[in-house]
Structure 1
């Protein structure tokens, strides 16, 4: 009897956890096609009118393009600089290297974007990068860079040094070795970092909201907060349709990378 009650308790707990995650997904799937969407989950009165209104809303679709620019720009920045830094830290013995890495990782977790927003804003003013997508990319990239370096370093550590020694025999320079040896072997880690960086940028609201002033440069994570009715109530028809479009690029990227490389946060080669 005790075993049966324990099994029932575990089953109920798992069902509640699944419901907690599945219910919002069901709303995201059904509400955009409902003629009268609400916060409840119900069989939709099927229509495409919500998407027609969304495509006619000024700046809505263009904001998705802005989000892609910010996400891809940040992803390229952290992949390039993160690969260079992690490879250097992996191969060059620097006193206090590990302490430095853990300190950077700790500080990046403690000092969040909200806490650092005032000095960040003043820095962007001094650099003339206010209302610039480049400024947003630099701020977002610098915020996640310590974590990127910390993860990629483990992949670089797992690459046998004999591979690099063979490349040096043929006269390859460090950058050539990184490109021809390090990058191919660390490809799963780079793919994981690419998706993670895009996710971190894709839904970021605070940084672009403060630094970008021109509506035509505003990303989707900011634009979605402007969908209100004339009475000041959230426009669920626009929000639901926009949310579905907003989630598709990240989901597609996740499945592509997971199918091709899988997601691993550790090196896969043992010397």
Structure 2
């Protein structure tokens, strides 16, 4: 065996080692670039409201609280946050209440085509989005007199979210052991007591998840409130933000930046609450 042939295995090992190091460096560089790409908007969100003259660029601010003073002076800004809370809370209540009842019924009652019905509803709710159903939705709300009412917005949003909520909650309901319900019935519990005292406490992580998910989905929804609400006093924050322009027709970045931070705070608080309470480990029931 020649000296060149003896050096070949060593050279190949060095080549493989070099390629591994180069691959790791490229992977880390790619992750850093992606992280910076997603972090820049968040940095702008927390920095621009305190800049006297904010721009779309991320820079060290000229510190001031004047933007928040302008926000407080706006007659509709803070009220729109309250409107968003009302719409999100009402939609969540309707969705969770009907979603819990429907998912429990579908989990316990055996009907032909049950799974096909669930998948069909989920598919239709994904295909027939708010944009595709905009005209019939407006005509329906107009026919029943719910135009320019927050109740109409809640019902439309809840109707769009219910198929997904039922689909998610059914798995949690399936994981509740039926023996628990049978034991409760032996002690004389009525059906509503079984649901309230046995099923819901066990499926609480799933119900909490769909409640938070519903609030997040509704919080930033623009199309449905923009379509159905006309009065600025009843519009949520996602719609009112569209009106923040200067007299020259340019986007008012001072007002928009401060409003975006206030608008994002409820979602951030929800994140910390859910992370502290559940740790984002959502699982349903107790396996029998």
Task: State TM-score, norm by structure 1.
Answer: 0.98
Q: Which string of whole-angstrom CA distances, capped at 9 and with x for unpartnered residues, describes residues 28-72 of structure 1?
A: 000001111111111111111000001001101000000000000
Long gaps (5+) in structure 1: none
Kept after mapping to 2: 8 A contact 1:189/1:263: no
Which residue in the other structure is 1:134 paired with?
151
Which residue in the other structure is 1:193 paired with?
210
Which residue in the other structure is 2:63 paired with?
46
Kept after mapping to 1: 8 A contact 2:173/2:285: no
Which residue in the other structure is 2:91 paired with?
74
CA distance in 1, matches of 2:285, 2:62: 50
| SS, match of residue 39 in structure 1 | coil
Correspondence 1:124 to 2:123: no
Task: State TM-score, norm by structure 2.
Answer: 0.92
Long gaps (5+) in structure 2: 1-17
Q: Which string of whole-angstrom CA distances, capped at 9 and with x for unpartnered residues, describes residues 155-193 of structure 1?
A: 000001111011101111222111111111111111111
Kept after mapping to 2: 8 A contact 1:151/1:266: no
Deviation at 1:268, TM superposition (A): 4.6
Which residue in the other structure is 1:110 paired with?
127
CA distance in 2, matches of 1:87, 1:264: 22
Larger Rg: 2
Which residue in the other structure is 1:32 paired with?
49
| SS, match of residue 67 in structure 1 | helix
RMSD after superposition = 1.0
Structure 1 range deviating more: 206-215 or 258-267: 258-267
After superposition, residues 95-106 of structure 1 pair within 5 angstroms as 95-106=112-123
| SS, match of residue 188 in structure 1 | helix
Which residue in the other structure is 1:65 paired with?
82
After superposition, residues 88-237 of structure 1 pair within 5 angstroms as 88-237=105-254
Deviation at 1:87, TM superposition (A): 0.5
Q: How many residues are treated as equivalent by the alignment?
A: 271
Kept after mapping to 1: 8 A contact 2:118/2:167: yes
| SS, match of residue 273 in structure 2 | helix
> Which one of the candidate residues 25, 30, 34 is aligned to 1:8?
25
Correspondence 1:258 to 2:275: yes
CA distance in 2, matches of 1:19, 1:39: 16
